């Protein structure tokens, strides 16, 4: 029982892998799964059989993440593959994203909740356009840690010079994109060098293997130190004799913390009250933190609806506005329509919005901004301005990844067509390499 509880309480790290086609992403993940003994016998046997059918002399570890038969037959990965594994120190969720240019949307989807992004670079080719693309997206999504895994070092004779040249070039890119924390590791995913165990082929490398780094990277986020945000999802009125006067406001804390006795303000009405109780499951607690799901009870019987936001009165308030500027990654085969109308879902709120302006589209390969080309197609990233039917309560994405993000939805098909990251300053999202 104690072992089970220990396992359940283990820290979870979410990471994504990205790189160009054939950089070895799937092989790397396969190596992590294989060497950490996170593969069932039947899975391993299936991979061995598939490797033989494909004519390989060795077990193709990449097939561990290529779940679709079509992928195996073609020898390529064509979708985001989510995998789970654990070590004695930490649990992991992996999002293996494709390297093809046309699957930018998949990387945005896979990386949106990641704590770490692993960008693979083929040592033979160095930094290519796709490397910049993935670095840009990592920066855009505010991923806290980026690991540059310089792969296929075995094909360049584990050259320290090759490694240092790639590292130096990427450090320049990292400064321009303002990546938060960047690590560099020389690896051979195929042979396992510096993946799980330290390699004796890189005596010049003073760092630790990849898995050890993943086990030690801090994932303690500072969300509880952010201004308090509580998007209201449900109003709870049991209508039972034993809960005759019960009125609770249920939701998930999106920033900061709340405790009994806190003075709060409800947006958009700006009505004020005091927290009298915080309920979770079948008990009450004194304080709750991001990202707990709780029910707040207030001293006053006030009018609150789904989509409203409860904040601490003395905290910095979110922006309350119907004019919103955001970086959008377009996810749909139908192009964005300037002047078009879309549904917006933001936190627990929903409203209609008009596309007012396309400021520029990002050339994701050169990282240049093009203010002339306004046609935003699938996989494009652009800076746009929208006007919502009612004001939203938001922060910038750089300040809060939950209250600073939204999705655009086709109001006819209800397909999610765009993922947006709210910005306050146009200059903040302008990069040139």
Averaged pLDDT, 352-375: 88
User: Which residue carries 């303000």 as its tokens?
Assistant: 265
Residue 65's pLDDT is 55
pLDDT in tens, 226-259: 999 999 999 998 766 666 778 999 999 999 999 9
- Please give the domain boundaries of the chain with CATH numbers for all domains: 2-216 (3.40.50.300), 224-312 (2.40.30.10), 319-429 (2.40.30.10)
Q: What is the SS3 assignment for 91-147?
A: EEEEEECCCCHHHHHHHHHHHCCCCEEEEEEECCCCCCHHHHHHHHHHHHCCCCEEE
For 101, other C-beta atoms within 10 Å of its C-beta total 14
pTM (2 d.p.)? 0.79
Helix%, strand%, coil% for the chain, nearest 5:
25, 35, 40
Residue 220's pLDDT is 66
Residue 76's pLDDT is 43
pLDDT in tens, 123-165: 999 998 888 888 888 888 889 999 999 999 999 999 999 999 9
Q: Are the CB atoms for 150 and 207 separated by under 8 Å?
A: no
Least reliable range by pLDDT among 33-47, 91-105, 254-268, 392-406: 33-47
N-to-C CA span, the chain: 54
Q: Are the CB atoms for 149 and 409 separated by under 8 Å?
A: no
Residue 242's pLDDT is 66
Residue 224's pLDDT is 77
Whether the per-residue pLDDT at 286 is higher than 50: the answer is yes
**Rounded to an integer, what distance in angstroms lies between the CA atom of residue 44 and that of residue 59?**
9
User: Which residue carries 């002339």 as its tokens?
Assistant: 372
pLDDT in tens, 100-123: 555 566 677 777 788 999 999 999
Angle at CA 207, nearest 5°, toward 107 and 25? 25
Q: Are the CB atoms for 256 and 223 separated by under 8 Å?
A: yes
**Rounded to an integer, what distance in angstroms lies between the CA atom of residue 300 and that of residue 217?**
44
Whether the per-residue pLDDT at 372 is higher than 70: the answer is yes
Of the ranges 12-21, 38-47, 251-260, the best mean pLDDT one = 251-260
């Amino acid at each position: 029982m104690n072992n089970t509880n220990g396992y359940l309480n283990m820290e979870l790290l979410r990471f994504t892998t990205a790189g160009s086609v054939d950089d070895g992403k799937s092989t790397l993940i396969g190596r992590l799964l294989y060497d950490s003994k996170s593969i069932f016998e039947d899975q391993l046997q299936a991979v061995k059989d598939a490797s033989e059918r494909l004519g390989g002399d060795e077990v193709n570890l990449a097939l561990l993440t290529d779940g679709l038969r079509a992928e195996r037959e073609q020898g390529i990965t064509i979708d985001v593959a989510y995998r789970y594994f654990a070590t004695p120190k930490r649990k992991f969720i992996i999002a293996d994203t494709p390297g093809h240019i046309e699957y930018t949307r998949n990387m945005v989807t896979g990386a949106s909740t990641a704590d770490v992004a692993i960008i693979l670079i083929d040592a033979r080719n160095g930094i290519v356009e796709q490397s910049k693309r993935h670095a840009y997206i990592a920066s855009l999504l505010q991923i806290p840690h980026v690991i540059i895994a310089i792969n296929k070092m075995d094909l360049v004779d584990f050259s320290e010079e090759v490694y240092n040249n790639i590292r130096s070039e990427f450090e320049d890119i990292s400064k321009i994109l303002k990546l938060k924390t960047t690590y560099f590791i020389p690896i051979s995913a195929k042979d396992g060098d510096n993946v799980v165990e330290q390699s004796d082929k890189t005596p010049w490398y003073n760092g630790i293997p990849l898995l050890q780094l993943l086990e030690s990277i801090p994932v303690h986020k500072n969300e509880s130190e952010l201004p308090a945000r509580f998007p209201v999802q449900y109003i709870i009125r049991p209508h039972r004799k034993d809960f005759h006067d019960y009125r609770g406001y249920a939701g998930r804390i999106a920033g900061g913390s709340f405790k009994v006795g806190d003075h709060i303000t409800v947006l958009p009405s700006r009505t004020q009250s005091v927290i009298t109780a915080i309920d979770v499951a079948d008990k009450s607690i004194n304080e709750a933190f991001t990202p707990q799901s709780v029910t707040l009870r207030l001293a006053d019987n006030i009018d609150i609806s789904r989509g409203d936001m409860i904040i601490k009165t003395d905290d910095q308030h979110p922006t309350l506005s119907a004019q919103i500027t955001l970086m959008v990654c377009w996810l749909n085969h139908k192009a964005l329509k300037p002047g078009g109308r879309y549904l917006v879902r933001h936190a627990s709120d929903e409203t209609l919005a008009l596309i007012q302006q396309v400021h520029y589209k990002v050339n994701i390969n050169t990282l240049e901004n093009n203010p002339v080309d306004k046609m935003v197609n699938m996989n494009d990233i652009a800076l746009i301005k929208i006007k919502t039917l009612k004001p939203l309560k938001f922060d910038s994405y750089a300040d809060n990844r939950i209250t600073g993000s939204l999705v655009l939805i086709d109001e006819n098909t209800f397909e999610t067509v765009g993922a947006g990251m709210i910005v306050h300053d146009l200059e903040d999202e302008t990069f040139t390499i």
